[in-house]
Structure 1
Amino acid sequence: MTGWNASDIPDQSGRSAMVTGANSGIGYVTARELARRGARVVLACRSEERGTRALEQLRSDVPSAEVEFRRLDLADLGSVRLFAEAYERDDEGGALDLLVNNAGVMALPYRQTADGFETQFGVNHLGHFALTGLLLPRLLRTPGARIVTVSSAFHALGNIDMGDLNSERNYRRWIAYGRSKSANLLFVHELARRLASAGSDVVAAAAHPGYAETNLQAAGPKMEGRKIAERVMWLGNRVLAQPAASGALPTLYAATAPGVRPDSFTGPRVLGWQGAPGRSWRAKWTLNDTASERLWVASEGLTGVRYPALKG
């Protein structure tokens, strides 16, 4: 994988992709590069204003792009269901070759989603768990489909707590973020296991961007009006972070490169921080079969979304 970059993305002509959180940062770059290589791409974003602006920018960057914007709020399971229903209705019988679960929030002050879940767990994990389950029938009938979920090296900050999934007893924003990213990896682990048991060739894999310059880092301080913290995050991005275009490479590799294995975790090769994509370290707890199955069952109960085609 030495030196792999966006120019190595195989031709995506005739393929259909969906990228959540595609209005900026890594999600936008991911959508843009897939479209550049010929994929038909859905930008699934919460904000209609920002999503429409990203759509216009992408069409400017890639005039030949076949792209569309669809509104999706992962903090509202009702929105997730409406999104999936509308997509199925408007594109009945069509293929979905690639689902990129990219959208996320980081280290926010304590908030709850529309359904009462702690926001980081609700958006980063539960929203994508529900979306994937609702789109799974389409993915299963598309030969060679992939599901790529974006986690983080910060998953190492905390394993999930099955007795306090919503961090109601003791909320610490960075620990909650780490737990939500561990949940992403446990989801991929269990999804890959269940797909294999069902005899499906759909590949479920994970990726992380290392330290990349995006809007995520400053979102929490900005919400609370903490100007100094916001400035520190901004300076960190300017001095230490790699560009979003580089941070998107592990996602693009997991999404398109030949031979990507189920339950793999791709990240930057240089200390997990920056550089070309390669195999990434992951905490042992994210490979625990018992934990992944327990989280899966809990997620089905919390979201009301089940995966009938995939038995436990």
Structure 2
Amino acid sequence: MALLVSLLVVERKVHLLVLQMGEKVEKMVSVVLYVFFPVLLTIGILRKYRARQWGQCKSISSLQGKVFLVTGANSGIGKETVRNLARRKARIIMACRDMNNAKSAIEEIRRDVASGELIPMHLDLSSLSSVRQFAEEVLKDFPQIHVLINNAGVYVPVQENRKTKDGFEIHFGVNHLSHFLLTNLLLPRLKESAPSRIVNVSSTLYQKGEIEFDNLRGEKGFPIKGRQNPGYNNSKLANVLFTKELAQRLDGTGVDVYVLCPGFAYTGLFRYTHIKWYYYILATPVLLYFMRSASQAAQTVLHCATEESLEGQSGLMYRDCSLFTSDKILDPDKAAKLWAVSEELCGLKTETLSN
């Protein structure tokens, strides 16, 4: 109803403006008013209906005394996750690459949320050495970690063939490998803090992914398939396989693992893509219908991180705050191989053997 009233007010103001303008402009404005206005109104109504299907985290209990660690916490879904956790009095480690952006995010959150403790710390997921340094500082400063939320991610056009500082294909390195290393380094503390949780943010695009073990550094490149990004899709599949294998390894430890798709959301994920201006015009009606806000996208993250009824249900995938199922068959042998390869690439296997 509020949306309808707002649109009617806009229509009235435009109509009054037209009365003050010449006849030449009147026809053009009439087209906008009587063609685009009904379209926008229809989209607005449909969006309201669709938003009800996106799910809402129902858990509202206090999180005072609980320590959460969120990667990519200064923008998009990560920032909205932090905002909601702070509202429930949690203590939150904000893992951010840009500390200036972290400061700005905290200032913004503090304008409407006074509760909770926000602790910004530097983490560059394009560097495994940065991950190690970050984990060392966290383990030194925090005797407990109750929930690790591996949220950060990148989406870079395939044509750019970008690499991490360690030479890995950017999506595999940032979206999977660094989070794999971080999780393993923090596992002892998570076990000590049980019951605890690990939440991996993936995407249903994992269904289009493949794990190419002979191309993890992107040396062979990726075939461009329309507007698909194989590198990104593959990294999202790696998130899902990692979750499945990790859940199996942590069975009986009190540490639950979940993976989720936050949905198609308006965030800074696509900041590296170069889209022509007229695509925005053509796509706006569709995007208004399908894209959710960062706050709406954060709901499934919060559901997996805080919903009490999920305790003990490890290794599952969620979307729209509900269990997500897929026809894509996940090969447990491939998940085990990905774990072994990831261990070796991170240097964890060598460390385990030497200790």
Task: With the length of structure 1 as denominator, give the TM-score of the two structures.
Answer: 0.86
User: Which residues in structure 2 correspond to 1:146-295 (within 5 Å)?
Assistant: 146-171=197-222, 172=224, 174-196=229-251, 199-217=252-270, 219-222=271-274, 226-228=275-277, 231=280, 235=284, 237-260=287-310, 261-268=313-320, 277-282=321-326, 284-285=328-329, 287-295=330-338
Give me the whole-angstrom Cα distance separating, in 2, the residues matched to 1:97 and 1:185. Answer: 21
1:168-210 CA distance string (max 9 Å, x none): 21324611111000000000000000001xx311001111111
Cα distance in 1 for residues equivalent to 2:350 and 2:110? 35
Aligned equivalent of 1:101, options 127, 150, 154: 150
* Change beyond 3 A, Cα 1:97–1:175: same
- For residues 111 and 301 of structure 1, the distance between their equivalents in structure 2, rounded to whole angstroms, comes to 22
| Pairing 1:140-151 to 2, within 5 Å after superposition | 140-151=191-202
Deviation readout 1:199-224 (Å, 9 max, x if unpaired) = 3110011111111111113x2324xx
| Ranges of 4+ aligned residues in structure 1 off by more than 6 Å | none
Structure number with bigger Rg: 2
- Shift in alpha-carbon separation, 1:238–1:3, aligned structure 2, 3 A: closer
Aligned length: 291
Question: Residue 14 of structure 2 aligns with which residue?
Answer: none
Q: 2:130 aligns with which of 57, 71, 79?
A: 79
Structure 1: which 5+ runs fail to align?
269-276
Structure 2: unaligned runs, 5 residues or longer? 1-52
Task: For residues 229-281 of structure 1, give each alpha carbon's deviation from its aligned partner in whole angstroms, at most 9, with x where no partner exists.
Answer: 8847983644530111111111111111123211111102xxxxxxxx11113
The alpha carbon displacement at 1:10 in A equals 2.6
Scaled by the length of structure 2, the TM-score of the pair is: 0.76
Q: Secondary structure at the match of 2:111?
A: helix
Call closer, same or farther: CA 1:133–1:61 in 2, change over 3 Å.
Answer: same
Helix, strand or coil at the partner of 1:100: strand
Instruction: Give deviations 1:91-136, integer Å, cap 9, x for gaps.
Output: 3xx1100000000012433100000000011000001001101111
Shift of 1:3: 8.5
Q: Secondary structure at the match of 1:18?
A: strand
| Deviation at residue 61 of structure 1 after TM alignment | 2.3
Cα offset, 1:28, TM superposition: 0.7
- Structure 1 stretch 32-41 or stretch 291-300: which is displaced more? 32-41
Looking at structure 1, the residues matched to 199 and 297 of structure 2 have their Cα atoms a distance apart, in angstroms, of 15
What is the SS of the residue equivalent to 2:121? strand
Asked if structure 1 preserves the Cα contact closer than 8 Å seen for 2:263 and 2:319, the reply is yes
How far apart, in 2, do the equivalents of 1:230 and 1:263 lie? 39
